[in-house]
């Protein structure tokens, strides 16, 4: 790393810290008792919803439930304090858990802790290099597909709560009166969440739904699955623990592939959630800060026996819609979760899962982009296809693969559309020769179309190509101009090029001497390495 790069990263880091301190001070200065109550109650609601999620994802990864709960506490607390978007909630997630299960089953939980530490380091590097800005390359149709797919995944995950354990250690679907009662409790929770804001907003509707349904179940002794039926959440403070793995290259070979995948999935889900929450709150920026915050959180989590985590879109939606718009709500959620583990495991374990399922179903309804169904018939077919593909792949595979596929498909569609725009706007021919006026972008996708526009054998002895309405976008475009010049030279024709930018003129080799400079030449740069000229390496200046 050069001294200039290090100085720039230090300056960026100092600027981020200063901005964070200023924003936090402003938030604290605007606090009122009413706002503080709303933030704390929103945090309590989120904490209650986090418990079954963290336990379930721990089971998915094949680790002790406390490993998932510790991750939810530590990752949630750290990102709430220094994350890129106040109001976002982070914790143990299913997207990460499904990757961890193979590592845990093959090498044990200690290797998982080491992997989480390395995952955090990679995310810190991404934050330091400001890679978070590349999330802007994700097209809007991909965002819609991501939101829809994740809403479906959240909904499908709740179906597991309608299963009960069997004598042989397996699970089976509820039936009979128990299923009817559970569905009724879920519906009641959803009804309370929908109707209470129309009466009062003094208490977050999800919290009221959980409280009322829990009171009914406990008061009447209704036999339905409760949080304690999943696992006990009682425990102590997360202990500091250096992963017990050999510190050698063999360990690095094992954990590095998992760490890279986990870091990528975690950052993608976190940054997309950051954008989604930003749209709701009307805020922008914070991507690189969020990368760094996720990195710090996961490094700490790995040293305190947690399974790692990232932003959670479902809990973030619960928080924001409950009024948790500041860092206080996220901090409160983490502290409430820790207090559940330390002091209140008994009462929390009595909460019926049906109430929490009802909350998550309302999250699904609020998260799914219903407008995307209306616009599918109106937007270009390519955009509709991207929305559907990303939604399906998110459900069938995972978020990272879905976003990658969506971006690739969108890029290919864009390149194809741009390639068809290269054409001849006009041809002027007289006794002095022939003038082509070309129009459109010249890049790797349109090179073939560009070459097909001309007839070196049939053209007159003098040919002029005017690029005034065209734009050379990349190295392939420059190579095409050079190749065309070579074809005309082979036929013994006099080719002249007009209105190419100074950048093009400097980078062309074969065609460089054929350019007719003019005062009205366009000014733009070509997206290629200035140190490499077509056909040879230029070591000069």
Domain boundaries, the chain: 3-11+37-169+207-375, 420-537
Q: Does domain 420-537 have CATH number 3.40.630.30?
A: no
Name the percent of the chain lying above pLDDT 70.
Answer: 91
Report the pLDDT averaged over residues 272-293.
90
pLDDT digits (tens, 9 = 90+) for 369-426: 898 888 888 888 889 999 999 999 988 887 778 888 999 999 888 888 888 889 999 8
Question: Which pairs with CB-CB distance under 8 Å and at least 24 residues apart come from 532-538?
Answer: 532/475, 533/507, 533/509, 534/475, 534/478, 534/479, 534/482, 534/507, 534/508, 534/509, 534/510, 535/482, 535/509, 535/510, 536/509
Whole-number pLDDT of residue 108 = 94
Report the pLDDT averaged over residues 18-23.
55
CA distances 375 to 172, 369, 502, Å, are 40, 11, 44
Q: Token pair of 205, please?
A: 């509707």
pLDDT digits (tens, 9 = 90+) for 103-123: 999 999 999 999 999 999 999
Q: How confident is the model at residue 191 (pLDDT cuts 50, 70, 90)?
A: very high
Q: Which residue has the higher pLDDT, 285 or 27?
A: 285
Report the pLDDT averaged over residues 510-525.
78
CA distances 194 to 199, 340, 408, Å, are 10, 27, 39
Our CA dihedral for 448, 449, 451, 454, rounded to 10 degrees, sits at: 160
290 has a pLDDT exceeding 90: yes
419: Cβ contacts below 8 Å, ≥ 6 apart: 443, 445, 446, 449
Report the pLDDT averaged over residues 304-314.
94
Whole-number pLDDT of residue 18 = 56
481 has a pLDDT exceeding 60: yes
CB atoms closer than 10 angstroms to residue 538: 14
Supply the mean pLDDT for the chain. 88
Name the percent of the chain lying above pLDDT 90.
Answer: 60
447 has a pLDDT exceeding 80: yes
Whole-number pLDDT of residue 9 = 47
d(CA 144, CA 226): 34
Q: How confident is the model at residue 137 (pLDDT cuts 50, 70, 90)?
A: confident
355 has a pLDDT exceeding 80: yes
Residues facing residue 471 across a β-bridge: 441
Q: How confident is the model at residue 233 (pLDDT cuts 50, 70, 90)?
A: very high
Q: How confident is the model at residue 528 (pLDDT cuts 50, 70, 90)?
A: very low
Best mean pLDDT range from 16-25, 197-206, 499-508: 197-206
């Amino acid at each position: 790393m050069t001294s200039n790069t290090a100085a720039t990263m230090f300056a960026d880091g100092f600027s981020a810290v200063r901005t964070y301190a200023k924003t936090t001070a402003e938030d604290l200065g605007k606090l009122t008792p009413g706002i503080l109550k709303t933030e704390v109650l929103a945090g309590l609601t989120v904490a209650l919803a986090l418990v079954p999620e963290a336990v379930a994802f721990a089971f998915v990864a094949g680790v002790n439930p406390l490993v998932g709960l510790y991750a939810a506490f530590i990752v949630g607390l750290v990102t709430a304090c220094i994350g890129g978007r106040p109001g976002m909630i982070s914790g143990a997630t299913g997207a990460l858990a499904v990757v961890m299960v193979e590592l845990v089953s093959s090498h044990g939980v200690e290797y998982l802790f080491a992997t989480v530490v390395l995952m955090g380091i990679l995310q810190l590097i991404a934050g330091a290099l400001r890679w978070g800005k590349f999330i802007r390359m994700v097209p809007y149709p991909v965002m819609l597909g991501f939101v829809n797919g994740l809403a479906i995944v959240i909904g499908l995950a709740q179906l597991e709560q309608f299963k009960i354990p069997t004598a042989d250690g397996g699970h089976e679907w509820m039936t009979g009166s128990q299923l009817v009662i559970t569905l009724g409790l879920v519906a009641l929770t959803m009804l309370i969440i929908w109707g209470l804001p129309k009466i009062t907003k003094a208490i977050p509707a999800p919290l009221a739904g959980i409280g009322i349904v829990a009171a009914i179940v406990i008061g009447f002794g209704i036999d339905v699955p409760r949080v304690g039926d999943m696992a006990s959440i009682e425990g102590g403070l997360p202990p500091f623990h250096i992963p017990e793995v050999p510190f050698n290259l063999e360990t690095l070979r094992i954990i590095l592939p998992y760490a890279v995948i986990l870091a990528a999935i975690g950052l993608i889900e976190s940054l997309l959630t950051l954008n989604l929450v930003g749209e709701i709150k009307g805020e922008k920026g914070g991507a690189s800060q969020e990368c760094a915050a996720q990195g710090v959180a996961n490094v700490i989590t790995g040293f305190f026996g947690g399974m790692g985590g990232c932003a959670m879109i479902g809990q973030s939606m619960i928080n924001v819609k409950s009024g948790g718009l500041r860092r206080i709500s996220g901090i409160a959620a983490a502290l409430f979760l820790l207090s559940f583990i330390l002091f209140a495991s008994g009462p929390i374990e009595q909460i019926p899962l049906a109430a929490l399922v009802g909350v998550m179903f309302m999250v699904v309804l609020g998260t799914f982009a219903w407008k995307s169904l209306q616009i599918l018939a109106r937007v270009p077919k390519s955009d509709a296809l991207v929305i559907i593909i990303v939604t399906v792949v998110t459900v069938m595979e995972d978020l990272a693969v879905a976003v990658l596929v969506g971006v690739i498909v969108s890029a290919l569609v864009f390149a194809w559309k741009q390639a068809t725009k290269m054409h001849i706007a006009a041809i002027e021919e007289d006794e002095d020769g022939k003038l082509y006026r070309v129009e459109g972008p010249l890049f790797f996708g349109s090179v073939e179309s560009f070459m097909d526009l001309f007839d070196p054998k049939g053209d007159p002895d003098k040919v002029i190509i005017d690029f005034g309405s065209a734009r050379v976008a990349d190295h392939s475009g420059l190579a095409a101009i050079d190749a065309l010049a070579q074809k005309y030279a082979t036929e013994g024709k006099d080719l002249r090029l007009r209105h190419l930018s100074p950048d093009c003129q400097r980078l062309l080799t074969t065609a460089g001497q054929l350019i007719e400079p003019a005062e009205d030449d366009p000014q733009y740069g070509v997206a290629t390495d200035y140190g490499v000229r077509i056909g040879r390496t230029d070591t000069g200046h």
